[in-house]
């Protein structure tokens, strides 16, 4: 048999930032691929809406209001999921944010907010779930980085630094945890249509610049990010770890 399974049937996944946008799409996509899904975010109403979608698919949903920058909340929520589901097989670190500010104008408050949300949360979630996965002898961690962690963009120095750090963290955790059967990978999205990008993508001039740098010549659709994440979570990626898969319409190969 040469075609491995792309199913995650019988697995339990945690998705952070699951209330809207990319996190919502990934949570529903993992449910469609067979997983029960724990949904972490800070807005309960958003979580309940996504949980309803997951349950329509016939999978279990565990919506939990969690601030993933706080260790005590992370550890408590992860333990609650393990108590309800029995194990944690997949973690998708998606929670993130940005404050677009020129480097000369970045404040300490902005620095700390972006670092905590984009980087500290990834480590706290990975460390907490990693201990459980080590004990089980298996697990998948998938971090959502960005093309902005690989090439220089006008998205802001702090955002770019956090996304680059996620790529390096992915490699180091994969190196440390491979012997425990825990595979750690990342995806690097370019522009996708979400509530967070809606205003930017309403600017036709800005969209023109984006498309000029994208060989496929269009903005990504959210379902086109779901497939790579499900792949990395499934048995089809059993020999893949420490990698960052750019899901960018070819943007990062663009030359001049």
0.95 exceeded by pTM: yes
- What is the rounded distance in angstroms from the CA atom of residue 64 to the CA atom of residue 67? 10
* CA-closest candidate to residue 11, choices 128, 154, 127, 142: 142
Please report, in tens digits, the pLDDT of each residue of the chain (256 residues total): 678 899 999 999 999 999 999 999 999 999 999 999 999 999 999 999 999 999 999 999 999 999 999 999 999 999 999 999 999 999 999 999 999 999 999 999 999 999 999 999 999 999 999 999 999 999 999 999 999 999 998 889 999 999 999 999 999 999 999 999 999 999 999 999 888 788 889 999 999 999 999 999 999 999 999 999 999 999 999 999 999 999 999 999 986 5
Q: Which of 159, 191, 206, 254 is catalytic?
A: 159
Give yes or no: 2 in active site: no
Residue 62 contacts residue 39 (beta carbons within 8 Å): yes
| 12-192+223-247: CATH class | alpha beta
Look-up of token digits 């001039």: 205
């Amino acid at each position: 048999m040469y075609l491995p399974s792309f199913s995650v049937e019988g697995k339990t996944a945690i998705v952070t930032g699951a209330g809207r946008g990319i996190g919502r799409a990934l949570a529903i996509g993992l449910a469609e691929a067979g997983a029960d899904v724990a949904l972490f975010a800070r807005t309960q109403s958003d979580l309940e809406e996504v949980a309803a979608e997951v349950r329509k698919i016939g999978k279990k949903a565990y919506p939990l209001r969690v601030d993933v920058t706080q260790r005590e909340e992370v550890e408590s929520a992860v333990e609650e999921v393990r108590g309800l589901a029995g194990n944690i097989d997949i973690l998708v670190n998606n929670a993130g944010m940005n404050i677009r500010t020129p480097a000369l104008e970045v404040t300490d408050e902005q620095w700390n907010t972006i670092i905590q949300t984009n980087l500290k949360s990834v480590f706290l979630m990975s460390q907490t779930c990693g201990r459980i996965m080590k004990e089980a002898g298996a697990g998948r961690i998938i971090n959502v980085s960005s093309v902005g962690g690989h090439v220089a963009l006008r998205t802001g120095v702090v955002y770019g630094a956090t996304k680059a750090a996620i790529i390096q963290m992915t490699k180091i955790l994969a190196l440390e945890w491979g012997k425990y059967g825990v595979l750690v990978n990342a995806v690097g999205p370019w522009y996708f249509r979400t509530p967070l990008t809606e205003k930017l993508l309403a600017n036709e001039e800005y969209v023109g610049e984006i498309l000029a740098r994208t060989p496929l010549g269009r903005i990504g659709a959210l379902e086109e990010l779901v497939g790579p994440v499900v792949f990395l979570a499934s048995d089809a990626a059993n020999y893949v770890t420490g990698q960052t898969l750019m899901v960018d319409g070819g943007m990062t190969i663009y030359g001049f």
